[in-house]
Structures are given as structure tokens and as C-alpha cells.
Amino acid sequence: MARKPSGKIQKEKEIMTKKKRYCYTFEEGDGTNKKLLGGKGAGLCSMTQIGLPVPPGFVISTEANVDYLEHDTFPEGLMDEVHEYMEDLEKKTGKGFGNPEKPLLISVRSGSALSMPGMMDTILNLGLNDETVKGMIALTKNERFVYDAYRRFLQLFGKIGLGVKDEGFDEIFEEIKKKYHATVDTELSAEAMKEVCERFKEYIKKETGKPFPQDVWAQLYIAIQGVFKSWMGKRAVDYRRQFNITPDMAHGTAVNICTMVFGNMGKDSATGVGFTRDPGTGENVLYGDYLINAQGEDVVAGIRTPRPLRELKTDMPEIYKELVKMRSILEKHYREVQDFEFTIEQGKLYMLQTRNGKMNAWALCKTSVDMVKEGLITEEEALLRIDPDMLEQFLHRRIDPDFKQEPLAVGISASPGAATGKVVFDADRAEQLGNQGEKIILTRVETKPEDIHGFFAAQGILTSRGGKTSHAAVVARGMGKPCVSGAEGLDINYELKEARVGSVVIKEGDIITIDGTAGVVYLGAVPMLDPDLPKDLKTLMEWADKYAKIQVWANADTPEMAQKAREHGAMGIGLCRTERMFNEADRLPLMRNMILADTPEERKHWANKLLPMQRQDFVEIFRAMDGLPVTIRLLDPPLHEFLPTIEELISDVNRLREFSQIMHALEQLPGTVAMLDPELSKQIPSIESMIREFAEYRAKGLDKKLLKQKEKVLRRVRVLHEINPMLGNRGVRCGISYPEIYDMQIQAIFEATAIALREKIDARPEIMVPNVCTVQELVWVKPRVENIHKEVEKRYNVKIAYKFGTMIEIARACLRAGRIATVAEFFSFGTNDLTQGTFSFSREDAENKFLPIYNTEKILLHNPFEILDELGVGRLMQIAVTEGRETRPDLKIGICGEHGGQPQAIEFCHRIGLNYVSCSPMRIPIARMAAAHAAIKEKKGVAPVARAL
């Protein structure tokens, strides 16, 4: 396998042969080109170029990986290039690859354009074999250290390069630790480490049928291949799917080849990870963990619990000073909080990686505001740092501060928020139970990247080892899930599926609560509170509103929701679903009666009973939204939503009939029994008294009346029954069929406005008609609105301003928008129904019937009820906007389907010129942020990402 380096200079070769180039030294790579060099590679190049101490190395581009995966072989010329770059590395370090006297050891690390922590593979200490080990011992005079490095390499190489099972290595290592009575690896002697190496080699041979490759070039070849393949490894693929990482965002991994430096060369060596600011609070302080005499993987994997970086100030004051200096160099260069890895080798500091720090929403907000104040970034940049969806983390619950109870265990506050769930000790089981809808706390000694599916399924993560930068902490923080790490009082036994804390035993399935903000664990469920929005968010929201063009309104059906919407900064109500006001127990029967009425008079009777309730709710909503528009939609949903099902009614009717028969039989009973068995008849008096009570009830005819009522309802429900209620007599169709309902609602709206105006509330109603497909429907409704308006104005002696508009949620309405705008003063896209109609997918069934398979088969990449289908539904919207505004240039247009709170859809709505989006009150901050992003990105000329479904 050993091939001699060609010795040609790469650039010359490139010019001469015009062959594709795959390798870049850290000095020459373009640090801004993450797509080509991966985030890690780009970071190493940038750090080298801004003068930070990075060990020499080079990057194999992502293009090489893509080519490799396509053809299942290295691209032509790649290995020649690698040889040349290795030769260059040998020159820079003065060492030789495979040279037994002065061995060059390298790390082979993965790294794609987007950070996917721990999802792909990395091999350290490559270049060690039985010969170079001797050279290393001679050079370092530290046999233990060298064998430690060798065993680490054998394990990683065996696992990643040769596909040998990791557990086998762990078992051997544990066996040897036991043999030498060592509790931690640092207690193993050189001899013991040597023994580990021998055993590891035997294990590799046993598992692969071949000896471990001593040829360093063969090692390199296999290692590059292993890293390349890890792009398609299960956990990497799962991760990309979960976070919607598409090929246009990250395509393939780069391979970073870097000279090894060692943090495990004694007490003057260390390894650590740092953040330029605290990623939990956003505080402007150097933050991180380190371990003396250890390699990077020890910190990240959480195998040993590291020490906080501030203690380095006393351990190694000079290095600490250097790190503080680097912190500001990094932030000035990147204008972003950095998350970096470093190693101290015998008193010398090396930077091994930097990337934008993943922070929780709290820290993101604080650092954004602080960095603007410090003059490091602009307001617009501060806003763009915040992924709108991240603000959802503020929605996480926290433990009621009044709750006082001794925690079961104390650990590290690794990711904020609190969660209650059943303890589950492995990721597969967590996934299984999570899919069944169970709430889970994934509880592990430490987590590894292969546990990622368990994270997705869990409400929170609990580990007994590891610090704030352990795998569990980093991943949970990124996902916005609560995590307590390093709860060392927890003694977890996977075999018995239990954890012990002193005398308390927690079994799988027991309920616990974790508080990731405080770093504590409680037994059982504890009271929780909804969180408040942090102070910095207010500033950011003010900035967001300053830049946003599209407004954010709320979908709010009740006064309480309106209040919440206003608190969150809604500029109006874009959808008040009037039917939702009748969901409460005391209102539903009235609503049912109105729907079930046989005659207009009867319907009017029930409608009049509903009127005062509806009117009062409107007054309260107007009060909450004083001075802002309130769009009230006339009754829309298919009526069956309010009615009992035919099956329920049949069973009720049958039960009532049986009851009548039983009563009849009971009445005969005393006489019959007296004749047949005089003894038994002594017991009859109790039955007789029961019969007397029922007889009274029957005498009044109540049983028959009830039966009749039920039978009537059943008949009516049968009449109203529709095969396809979603496409049936709903919305304006129902309003036209039963005008008393709309009349009542219109009257309630105007009367509420009049009452509010009298109270000096600036009420601004906008009446919206749902499910319109032709302008003629509006032409039918409008005069009724005008008449009632006139009547109420006269009766209350007030002037009432209002708007009359329509939902656009039927495909035909989009195509006839020009005509519809002759009557409608505003449009609001109901993209829930519009999506249903455009795809002919039932919005009630598609998501749990065929859509999942459409997604896995990649027929559709997303659920169109969640992600707006810009190409289809969006196209219809665009037609409606253009043609509607041709008729009425000042036509106000919004969206109130679920997509109105979804950032990409908001960007699309901004682009096609909508005036507002309307979403649920809790999503308002997200929508405001997304609205600002849309405007800023447009200004900066950032091309929108095409949303293929």
C-alpha cells in the first residue's frame, strides 16, 4: 500500500493537468468556504491565517467525499495529492510519516459545512505502529503515554476504519483495569497499557481475520475511507433528517488531516473546550472545561468529569492569559461567539477547532444584544443570529419556585428547562416508548452520538457523568431539551435497568423530574410554570419590528388568547374562529340545539340564546385589542364537529328503549314472584319502592320524552350527515343555508362594537366570510351585514366603522380573486384548507395515513400542512395577490392558516407582498423574528431557499 509521494507541487500540477483539486493546506484554504472545506476545515484555515497557534495540516474537500460516495472509490488523483500534502507536512514538522525515529502522527477528522456534533467519525494518533511506537518512546521518554496513545488509536481505527465493534475494546479495557485494580485509566501503568494494545490487536485480528495494518499509508487510506463513509452512517443520516439538513446546506464531509498534539503528556499538558461567552447564560466571560493530562475525546465524551476553565487561571496562569487573548481575537474575526477546542502540550497552547457556539435561546438573545452594544455587530446581524424557531425554547416550562423539596440527586445544569417523564435507560427503548406517546427521561451514565434517536424521543436527558460540554449537554442544548449531566450520586445499572441514589431505587418506568436550569433531579412529577420572555428578547423584538415589513397578527378565539396575543406583540387579530367560543360545557348544548333546529324560528330561538355570550366575548376581545383590528370569521366548521355521531346516538336510543322494557318487566315482577315463590316475595318491597319512583318518572312521560328527543336528534343528525363534511355544508355555504346563524353573529359583532365604543374602546371589527368560492356568495352576505349594521348603529346611536372581507382558502377563490376583490376589502389566506384542496389531501387524515410514507419514500420531503407548499399552494396565493390587487390596489392581505407562524412561510408571504401573517399567540415572537429576517435578507440580497416539498 505504501506509495511514494510524487513530489510535484500541487498548484503546478493543477495548472498543467487542469485536474480537480481536492487538498488545501491550512495556510491556503479559504476560511469562508465551509461548503468546500467543512466547518472544521474552514476554522482551522482561518485560525492559522489570523495567527493563532494551529498545528500544521491540510483539508481534503467535501467534493472528494461526494465523488467517493458516488463512485465508491477515491476520485482520480486524490491519493497522489494526499501524498504530496503529507510530504509538505513532513517538511513543516521535521518528522516522517512512518519514520521510526521521528514519527509524524496525525489526526484524521471529519467536518461538514454544518456542525453535526459527534455525528461523523474521527481517528487520532494515526501513524502509530509497532515500530513508530518505539521511536515515540525514545523521543518522549514516556512509555506509558505512547502506549496510551497507541491503544486509543487501535480502538478508534478498529471501530471506524475496520468496522470492529466498540464494545469489545471497552470490555478488554475494563478487564485490564480490573486486573490492575485501576478505577480510572490514568492509574494504569505503561505495562498495562502495552497489554491493552496487544489485546486490542488480537481482537482486531480475530474480528477482521487480518492483522492490524502496520503500514501507515494503508492506515491513512483506510482512515480517509472510514471518515468518508461516516457521512452516510445511520446517526449522521438520522441527524440530517431530524434537523432538515438538505444537500444544499451541507453535502459531504471534509477530512482534516492535522499534526497530532497531545494533552496527555503529563501534568503540564491538558485538553479542553471553551466558549468565548457562557453558552448557558450568554455572559461575556471565558467559559469551558478542561482536563489535565487527557485527550480531547475525554472531555467531549464526558468520560471524566472536567474542571471549569476558570481554574486554569491558577493551574496555568500564562496559558489562561493566552486563552483570554485568543477569545477576543476569535470574536473580532468571526463576530460571533466561538466554541473552540484546545490542547496544551507540555506548556504550549494549540487551537484545534473553532466554530460558532451553539447556545440556548437565552444566551443567544443576551449575546446578540450585548454584541450590538459592544459595537461588534449591527442590529440586523444580531437579529439574523437568532433562528426564529429557537425562541420556542422560551416556551419550555420551569419548576414552580414555590415548590420546595429535597432533590433526589444534584448534577450540572447542562441545558435549561424542566421535564417530567418515565426513566428509560437506553436510547432504543426511549425511541420505542416515545413513539407510543410516552414522556421519557433518557437516563444514561454518559451519552454517545449513537444515542441520538433517544434524544429525539425524550423530554429530557439525565447523565451521571460529564460536564456542560459533554455530548449529552451539547446535543440537548442544541435541541432545546432540558438536561442534567454529571449527577454523580446516581448509580446506574443497565443490566438491572435501575439507578440507585443511596437507598432509593429507581426502576425503568418510574417517574422523575429533571430541572436542567438548576441541575437537579426530583422523584415523581413536580408543579411547573410557563416561562416569561427574557428582558433581552424585548429589545430584540423592538429591533425586529423596526426592520420587518410584514406585520404579525394573532389567531385568537377568546378574550384570554387575545390578551396573550397582545402581550406578545400582536398587531391585530387575524382570525377569531367564532365557533371555538362555543366549546365550553355550558355553551355547547345551545350550539347543538341551534344546529339541530328544524325550522328557522327554532334556529333563531337558540341563536338568540347564544347572542349575548358571543357579544360579551367580542367586547372583551375588543378591550384586549383596543385600537387594533380584530378579524372575526363567521361560523365556518363542518357542523358535524358539534354534533354527536350517529353511532353514539343509536346506542343512546337503544339504551333508552331497553330501559323502557326493563321498567315494564319490573312492574310485573312482584305479582309474578308472589305467585311463584311466596318466600322470595318477602324480599320484593325494596324493588317495589324502586318501581314506585320510576313509575312517577314514567307517569310524567319523561322516559318517552327523552327517547323522543334522542330519536329526533338521530333523525336530524342523519339528515345533516355528509360523506365529506370538510367539503360539505360549512362556511359561507352553511351561512347561506341557515341565515339566522350569520345574522346572529353579525348582530353580536356590531352590538359588541357599539358597547365597546361607548366605553371608549377603539374597537375595529373586520368581518370575514369563510370558504368562499365565488364573489356571488359575498354578494349574498354583504347586504345582510349592511342592514344589521345600519340597524345597530341606529339603535345604539353610534357610528361603527368596519371592514368586510373574505378568507381565500378554496383554489377557485384564488383564480377568481380579481372578481372577489370587487366586494371584499381584505383577503386572508386559509392555507389549511387551501393545502387540503390543492393536494386533494384530507387535512384530517393525510398526516397519519399516507403522508409519513410519502415522506420516507421522498415523494414529498415535508408535510405540506406544516411547511407551505410554495410551488403549488404558493403559486395560487401569488395569483390571488396579483389579481386581487389589480382590482383593489389597497387590498389588505394576510394569512391565517397554520403556516402563518412558520418562518419559511413567513418569508414567502413577505416576498409576495402580504400585509400580515396571523399565528397562535405563543408563536408571535417567532413570527416577529421571522418577519424581520425576511426583510433583512431581502435587503441584503440573500436569495430565498427554494422550498421543494
Report the catalytic residues.
471, 896
Q: Considering the rule CB under 6 A, would residue 636 count as an interface residue with ligand PEP?
A: yes
Print the binding letters for residues 30-49 with ligand PEP: x by CB under 6 A, - otherwise.
--------------------
CA 296 to CA 591: how far, in whole Å?
Answer: 66
Of residues 695 through 724, those in contact with ligand PEP by CB under 6 A are none
Q: Closer CB to ligand PEP, residue 114 or residue 726?
A: 726
| Four-point Cα dihedral 326, 331, 336, 340, nearest 10 | 0
Residues written for the chain: 949
The reply to whether 379 sits near ligand PEP by the rule CB under 6 A is: no
- Count the neighbouring beta carbons within 10 Å of the beta carbon of residue 375: 7
| Between 339 and 833, CB nearer to ligand PEP | 833
Residues 827-886 that bind Mg ion (CB under 5 A): 830, 833
Instruction: Label the pairing between strands 418-424 and 511-515.
Output: antiparallel
Q: State in angstroms the smallest separation of the CB of 731 from Mg ion.
A: 7
Number of residues that bind Mg ion (CB under 5 A): 3
Interaction mask 554-583, ligand PEP, x per CB under 6 A: ---------------------x-x------
**Which residue, 193 or 807, has its beta carbon nearer to Mg ion?**
807
| Chain centroid, CA 254 distance in Å | 26
| 289 versus 617: smaller Cβ distance to ligand PEP | 617
* Interhelix angle 684-699/646-676, nearest 10 degrees: 130
Picking from 34, 97, 520, the residue whose alpha carbon sits closest to that of residue 256 is: 34
- 830 scored as a contact of ligand PEP (CB under 6 A): yes
User: Is 529 within 8 Å of 398 (Cβ atoms)?
Assistant: yes
Give the one entry of ligand PEP, Mg ion, none that residue 331 binds, where binding means its C-beta sits below a cut-off of 5 to 8 angstroms depending on kind: none
C-alpha 229/C-alpha 120 separation (Å) is: 9
- Does 640 bind ligand PEP (CB under 6 A)? Our answer is no
Q: Which is nearer to Mg ion, 830 or 874 (CB)?
A: 830
Give the cell for residue 819.
372578481
In sequence order, which residues have a C-beta less than 8 Å from that of residue 148 and are 6 or more positions away? 185, 188, 193, 264
The 3-class secondary structure across 416-435, one letter per residue, is CCEEEEEEECCHHHHHHHHH
In the complex, the smallest distance separating the C-beta of residue 617 from ligand PEP, rounded to whole angstroms, is 17
Which long-range CB contacts under 8 A does 839-846 form with residues at least 24 apart?
Answer: 839/864, 839/869, 839/872, 841/865, 842/726, 843/726, 844/726
- Least separation, in Å, of the C-beta of 896 and ligand PEP? 5
CB of 244 to ligand PEP, least distance (A): 23
**Which residue in the set 67, 90, 833, 870 belongs to the binding site for ligand PEP (CB under 6 A)?**
833
The listed partner (ligand PEP, Mg ion, none) that binds 577, CB under 5 to 8 Å by sort, is ligand PEP
Q: Would you count residue 766 as binding ligand PEP (CB under 6 A)?
A: no
Q: What are phi and psi of 75, to 5 degrees?
A: -60, 150
Q: Is the dihedral of CA 298, 302, 305, 308 positive or negative?
A: positive
Candidate residues 125, 276, 443, 831; the one interacting with ligand PEP per rule CB under 6 A? 831
Nearer to ligand PEP, 448 or 812 (CB): 812
Contact partner, 896, from ligand PEP, Mg ion, none, Cβ < 5-8 Å per class: ligand PEP
878 binds, among Mg ion, ligand PEP, none (CB under 5 to 8 A by kind): none
Give CA separation, 723 vs 583, 638, 646, 729, 851, in Å.
24, 11, 13, 11, 22
Q: What is the nearest approach in angstroms of ligand PEP to the Cβ of residue 754?
A: 27
Within positions 799 to 838, which residues make up the interface with Mg ion, using CB under 5 A? 809, 830, 833
Our CB check for Mg ion shows the closer of 135 and 897 to be 897
CB atoms within 10 A of CB 531: 17
Q: Which stretch binds ligand PEP (CB under 6 A): 190-198, 226-234, 658-666, 828-836?
A: 828-836
Question: Residue 589: which residues within 8 A CB-CB, separation 6 or more?
Answer: none
Smallest gap from residue 850 Cβ to Mg ion (A): 22
Buried-exposed string 68-80: b where 16+ CB fall within 10 A, e elsewhere: beeeeebbebbbb
DSSP for 775-835 reads: HHHHHHHHHHHHHHHHHHHHHHT-----EEEEEE-SHHHHHTHHHHTTT-SEEEE-HHHHH
| CB 879 to ligand PEP: min, Å | 17
Strands 412-415 and 57-60: unpaired
Alpha carbons 605 and 593: distance in angstroms, whole number:
9
By DSSP bridging, strand 916-919 and strand 629-633 are unpaired
CA–CA distances in Å: residue 11 to residues 5, 7, 20: 15, 12, 11
Contacted by 831, from Mg ion, ligand PEP, none: CB < 5 to 8 Å by type: ligand PEP
3-state secondary structure of 213: coil
Q: What mask, x for binding ligand PEP by CB under 6 A, covers residues 799 to 818?
A: ----------x---------
Residue 427 CB, nearest approach to Mg ion (Å): 40
Q: Which of residues 303-362 bind ligand PEP (CB under 6 A)?
A: none
CA angle 466, 470, 473 (to 5 degrees): 105
Q: Which three cell numbers stand for residue 597?
A: 333546529
896 lines the binding site for ligand PEP (CB under 6 A): yes
Question: Do 770 and 731 meet the contact criterion of CB atoms below 8 Å apart?
Answer: yes
Q: Does 897 bind ligand PEP (CB under 6 A)?
A: yes
- Measured from the CB atom, the residue of 577 and 592 that comes closer to Mg ion is 577
CB of 573 to ligand PEP, least distance (A): 13
- Indicate the residue among 623 and 733 with the shorter CB distance to ligand PEP: 733
What's the closest the beta carbon of residue 627 comes to ligand PEP, in angstroms? 24
CB closer to ligand PEP out of 369 and 562: 562
Q: Is the Cβ of residue 284 or residue 832 nearer to ligand PEP in the bound state? A: 832
Picked from ligand PEP, Mg ion, none, the partner binding residue 897 (CB below 5 to 8 A depending on kind) is ligand PEP
- The verdict on 864 binding ligand PEP (CB under 6 A) reads no
Task: Pick what 168 binds: ligand PEP, Mg ion, none; C-beta below 5 to 8 Å, kind-dependent.
Answer: none
C-alpha cell at 737: 343555508
CB 798 within 8 A of CB 754: yes
Q: Does 118 bind Mg ion (CB under 5 A)?
A: no
How many angstroms from the chain centroid is the CA of residue 575? 26
Count residues near ligand PEP (CB under 6 A).
10
Q: How far is the CB of 890 from ligand PEP (least distance, A)?
A: 23
Cβ proximity to ligand PEP: between 468 and 730 the closer is: 730
- Kindly state the cell numbers that stand for 503: 437507598
Start-to-end C-alpha separation, the chain: 46
Q: How far is the CB of 809 from ligand PEP (least distance, A)?
A: 5
**What is the residue-wise DSSP string for 339-386?**
EEEEEEETTEEEEEEEEEPP--HHHHHHHHHHHHHTTSS-HHHHHHTS
Out of 214, 832, 863, 887, point to the residue binding ligand PEP (CB under 6 A).
Answer: 832
Q: Which stretch binds ligand PEP (CB under 6 A): 654-662, 811-819, 825-833, 857-865?
A: 825-833
Contact residues: ligand PEP, CB under 6 A: 575, 577, 636, 809, 830-833, 896-897
Contact residues: Mg ion, CB under 5 A: 809, 830, 833
